């Protein structure tokens, strides 16, 4: 559960810029979209690890 925290809070000041542009979107938007898509995976992996 540390991965979503790091993606949103710790790394956010490092990626807070408009350029480069990825797929026509600002880099910050792409970063937040990627973090949002990776969060359920991190939660699932945590849940699966605690089950064993």
Q: Confirm if 44 and 4 have CB atoms less than 8 A apart.
A: no
Domain total of the chain: 1
Which domain, by its residues, includes 29?
2-51
pLDDT bracket for residue 44 (50, 70, 90): very high
Estimate to the nearest angstrom the gap between the alpha carbon of 46 and the chain centroid. 16
Across 20-31, average pLDDT: 88
More confident residue, 11 or 52: 11
Secondary structure element (H or E) that encloses residue 25, with its range? strand 25-26
User: What is the Cα–Cα distance from 12 to 9, expressed in whole angstroms?
Assistant: 6
Here the tokens at position 31 are 């970063």
Q: Confirm if 3 and 38 have CB atoms less than 8 A apart.
A: yes
User: What is the Cα–Cα distance from 38 to 42, expressed in whole angstroms?
Assistant: 6
């Amino acid at each position: 559960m540390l991965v979503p925290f790091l993606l949103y809070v710790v790394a956010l000041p490092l990626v807070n810029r408009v350029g480069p542009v990825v797929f026509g979107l600002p880099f910050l938007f792409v970063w937040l979209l990627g973090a949002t898509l990776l969060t359920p995976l991190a939660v699932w992996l945590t849940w699966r690890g605690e089950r064993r």
